[in-house]
Amino acid sequence: MKRSRILVCTTLLVLYFCFIIFKLADIQLFSPDAYGPEKVNLLKKSVEQRITEIELSSGRGVLLDRFNKPLGTSKVEDIVLFPFLATMDLPPTVSLMLNQLAPMWQQQLKTIKKPIFLSQLLDKQISEDMVEQVKNADIPGMIAVRRDGTKDPTIAEHLIGLVRDNPKEYDKRYGDVEKSDRSIGISGIQKAFDSFLQAKQQEKLMYSVDAIGNPLLGLDLRYVGSENDYYPLKLSTTIDSDIQQMIETTVDSYGMKKGGVVLLDVRTNELVSLLSRPKMDTEQPFATDTVRNQMLTAHFPGSVFKTVIAAAAIENDEATVNNTYDCDLNVYGDGASDRKLGELNFIESFAKSCNYTFATIGKKLVGENNTIIETYADKLGLLGPVGWVGNIFHLNNFKQFPEEENGKIWGDVYDRSVQRAIAQTAIGQKEVKVTPLAVANMISTIVNNGVKREIRVVDKILYNNGTVMKQFPDHYQKENQLEKETAVKLKKMLTEVVENGTGSYLKQLSVAGKSGTAQIGKENRYNHWFAGFFPVENPRYVMVVVDLDQTNDQAKTYPIYQAIVKQLTSEGSP
Domain-embedded: residue 197? no
Helix extents (H) in 259-354: 306-316, 318-322, 346-352
309 CB-near residues (< 8 Å, 6+ apart): 358, 361, 362, 365, 373, 376, 426
Helix 419-426 with 355-368: angle, nearest 10 deg? 120
Domain-embedded: residue 520? yes
pLDDT at site 536: 97
474: DSSP letter: -
Domain-embedded: residue 204? no
pLDDT in tens, 326-340: 999 999 999 999 999
Domain-embedded: residue 215? no
Mean pLDDT across the chain: 87
CATH code: domain of residue 434? 3.40.710.10
Which of 171, 119, 121 shows the shortest CA–CA distance to 147? 119
Which of 240, 51, 214 shows the shortest CA–CA distance to 141? 214
Rounded Cα distance between 261 and 154, Å, is: 17
pLDDT at site 182: 79
b or e along 536-561 (b: 16 or more beta carbons within 10 Å of the residue's beta carbon)?
A: beebebbbbbbbbebeeeebbbbebb
pLDDT per position in the chain (574 positions), as tens? 667 777 767 777 777 777 677 666 655 655 555 556 655 554 444 444 456 677 777 778 889 999 999 886 667 888 888 777 777 777 777 777 777 777 777 777 777 777 888 887 777 777 777 788 777 777 777 778 878 776 788 899 999 999 988 888 888 888 766 666 678 999 999 999 999 988 777 777 666 666 555 555 444 566 666 667 788 899 999 999 999 999 999 999 999 999 999 999 999 999 999 999 999 998 899 988 999 999 999 999 999 999 999 999 999 999 999 999 999 999 999 999 999 999 999 999 999 999 999 999 999 999 999 999 999 999 999 997 999 999 998 889 999 999 999 999 999 889 999 999 999 999 999 999 999 999 999 999 999 999 999 999 999 999 988 999 999 999 998 889 999 999 999 999 999 999 999 999 999 999 999 999 999 988 899 999 999 999 999 999 999 999 999 999 999 999 999 999 999 998 545 5
Q: Show which residues are catalytic.
A: 303
Residue 526 CB neighbours (<10 A): 20
What H or E segment, with its residue span, contains residue 205? strand 203-208
Rounded Cα distance between 360 and 162, Å, is: 47
Domain-embedded: residue 270? yes
Whether 383 contacts 377, CB under 8 Å: yes
Percent pLDDT > 90 in the chain is 59
Domain-embedded: residue 145? no
CA 453 to chain centre: 20
CA 294 to chain centre: 12
Range of the domain at 6: 2-47
Number of domains in the chain: 2
Domain-embedded: residue 35? yes
Rounded Cα distance between 511 and 496, Å, is: 10
* Beta strand pairing call for 234-237 and 62-64: parallel
Edge to edge, the sheet with strand 142-148 lists 116-117, 75-81, 142-148
pLDDT at site 70: 87
Rounded Cα distance between 356 and 362, Å, is: 10
pLDDT at site 160: 96
Which of 361, 435, 386 shows the shortest CA–CA distance to 270? 386
Rounded Cα distance between 502 and 353, Å, is: 7
pLDDT in tens, 426-468: 999 999 999 999 999 999 999 999 999 999 999 999 998 899 9
pLDDT at site 37: 60
Domain-embedded: residue 183? no
